[in-house]
Amino acid sequence: MGKMSVKDWADNVVKEEEIDRYLENGKDFIDHDAIERHLDNNKKPDKIKVRDIIQKSLSIERLDPDETAALLHVEDPELWQEMAAAGLEVKRKVYDNRIVIFAPLYCSNLCVNNCLYCGFRKDNTHEIRRVLTPDEVRMEAESLVKMGHKRLIVVYGEHPSSDADYMAETIKAIYEVREKTRKGTGTIRRVNINAAPLSVDDFKKLWKAGIGTYQVFQETYHRPTYKKMHPVGPKSDYRWRLYTHHRAMEAGIDDVAIGALFGLYHWRYDVMGLLYHAMELEKRFDGIGPHTVSFPRLMPADNAPYSEHTDHLVSDEEFKKLVTVLRLAIPYTGMIVTAREKPDLRKEVIKLGCTQTDASTRIGLGAYSEQYDRQDKERQQFVLGDTRELDDVVRELAQMGMISSFCTAGYRCGRTGDKIMGLLKCGTEGKFCKLNAVLTFREWLDDFSSPETQKIGEELIRKEIGEIRKDAFFRNNPLLKEFEDYYQRVSEGERDLFL
């Protein structure tokens, strides 16, 4: 950074030309009036219309704004039940019964922004600030590998001390980790990141470092609320954030993930914002929509007034509704529910068609390797709702008939971007996923599970293999033979075999 002050650095983050070139006639893709109009015109939708929309979603077609607005206004509890069931069906068609497991790793909590809801905001003097060194990051990753994790989302505050070069260095440190497990060797196989918007050149550094998905949340698509919540710093620029996925794609990162922080503005509006975002990415990038959509809910954060007092806090019932509508509106996308939510609600929301969740989560800086209290409020961004261990989450999912997948094959076989979108939309990706989910679940059970989880897991694996053998897609397909061979080898201790 040379002699540049933190303020000068922050003042130079936003590059207008890397916003302007994506605008159409000087406008961005969030058309506030159109969103309001769609929401106004679709109040009290009739049953037949809603059922037609459900059918469209079941054929894995993305819904239009009018259709999505209609679903958002359903009042009949019976229809909500039908929508919830359809959401799970959509998820089964695209992703089968697997849930991808990941863990967050927080590397830094220094931040030049002052988001009014976040414990890391610069004016929060209670927060203990820290930027982990690459060695400390490696130690965190070692602890995560020992727990059985293979896939991380690495999280950074926005600050010159955690710039793109630092991110690239931490990614490298994580990929280098090797830990002995009961039967094999454990590694982190996919590093996704959640970090502030970057320039195209900075994204290229991350791409070179081998990142999986680039995730960033718009927080709210409602401009006046956005402005109020993000008073200073680069994050106060709505459009710099809105077009960050465009820049990431331009730099070669073709898995991008969007999200909104629910509770800042009205949930119906932000569901529409997410839909518009997905439509824009599809339009600009040859049909490649967001790899995942996240819908974090505002949680209490230390010394962050707006984390507990906004006019738009989302109730559990509303939360379930918004997840249901998102599932139906963007049927091909992955959906992430996090440990922000309490165990019972998380379980319910998974049944609405989520595809990914985190486990054994600690969001304090250094909290995995240093083992301090995981709810220590001065060290973390907000308070978690579910701090259960990975083994408990895997067991609960298995009891629900869902297989925990530690698979990272899609990305490593080049099934990303347009390739994965095509496969997802036609249901083929789900087939690969099922095979890889079984292989990684076999590894995990042998390397990490408690006896209780092992027992339930074995039953599930038997059932899965039975289904694979019966599936017409695999009959006379050389993949089946290859799978059986890999399964045998993984059972004998070989690791990281995927299809």
The answer to whether the CB of 234 falls within 8 A of the CB of 157 is: no
Axis-axis angle for helices 65-72, 32-41 (nearest 10) = 50
Minimum separation from the CB atom of position 192 to ligand SAM (A): 12
Using DSSP bridges, classify how beta strands 356-358 and 334-337 pair: parallel, antiparallel or unpaired: parallel
Binding flag, residue 130, ligand SF4 (CB under 6 A):
no
Interacting residues with ligand SAM (CB under 6 A)? 117-118, 120, 155, 157-158, 194-196, 216-217, 219, 261, 296, 298-299, 301, 304, 307, 340, 381-382
Binding flag, residue 158, ligand SF4 (CB under 6 A):
yes
- How many residues bind ligand SF4, per CB under 6 A? 10
The residue from 38, 130, 204, 235 that contacts ligand SF4 (CB under 6 A) is 235
Binding flag, residue 263, ligand SF4 (CB under 6 A):
no
The residue from 95, 120, 265, 474 that contacts ligand SF4 (CB under 6 A) is 120
Indicate the helix (H) or strand (E) that contains 214.
Answer: strand 214-215
| DSSP-based three-state secondary structure for 153 | strand
Minimum separation from the CB atom of position 215 to ligand SAM (A): 9
Binding flag, residue 115, ligand SF4 (CB under 6 A):
yes
Per-residue binding string, ligand SF4, 356-375, x by CB under 6 A, is --------------------
Is the CB of 70 or the CB of 155 nearer to ligand SAM?
Answer: 155
CA 300 to chain CA centroid, Å, is 20
| DSSP-based three-state secondary structure for 19 | helix
Binding flag, residue 259, ligand SF4 (CB under 6 A):
no
Is the CB of 124 or the CB of 436 nearer to ligand SAM?
Answer: 124
Angle 287-330-20 from CA coordinates, rounded to 5°: 50
Residue 216's binding partner out of ligand SF4, ligand SAM, none, with CB under 5 to 8 Å set by partner kind: ligand SAM
Is the CB of 112 or the CB of 490 nearer to ligand SAM?
Answer: 112
Binding flag, residue 111, ligand SF4 (CB under 6 A):
yes
Minimum separation from the CB atom of position 118 to ligand SF4 (A): 3
The residue from 39, 70, 107, 118 that contacts ligand SF4 (CB under 6 A) is 118
Minimum separation from the CB atom of position 335 to ligand SAM (A): 15
| DSSP-based three-state secondary structure for 219 | strand
Using DSSP bridges, classify how beta strands 98-106 and 151-155 pair: parallel, antiparallel or unpaired: parallel
Binding flag, residue 157, ligand SF4 (CB under 6 A):
yes
Minimum separation from the CB atom of position 235 to ligand SAM (A): 6
Q: What radius of gyration, in Å, describes the C-alpha atoms of the chain?
A: 22
Axis-axis angle for helices 428-448, 417-426 (nearest 10) = 100
Residue 238's binding partner out of ligand SF4, ligand SAM, none, with CB under 5 to 8 Å set by partner kind: none
The answer to whether the CB of 391 falls within 8 A of the CB of 450 is: yes
What single string gives the DSSP state of each residue in 60-122? T-PPPHHHHHHHHT---HHHHHHHHHHHHHHHHHHHTTEEEEEEEEE-B---S---TT-TT-T
Number of Cα atoms under 13 Å in the Cβ half of residue 302 = 17
The span of 65-73, 112-120, 247-255, 272-280 binding ligand SF4 (CB under 6 A) equals 112-120
Provide the terminal-to-terminal Cα distance of the chain, rounded to the nearest Å: 43
Burial category of 337 from C-beta neighbours within 10 Å (exposed 0-12, middle 13-18, buried 19 and up): buried
Q: What tokens were used for 197? A: 């918007």
Residue 369's binding partner out of ligand SAM, ligand SF4, none, with CB under 5 to 8 Å set by partner kind: none
Residue 121's binding partner out of ligand SF4, ligand SAM, none, with CB under 5 to 8 Å set by partner kind: ligand SF4
Binding flag, residue 163, ligand SF4 (CB under 6 A):
no
Residue 194's binding partner out of ligand SF4, ligand SAM, none, with CB under 5 to 8 Å set by partner kind: ligand SAM
Which residues contact ligand SF4 (rule: CB under 6 A)? 111, 113, 115, 118, 120-121, 157-158, 196, 235
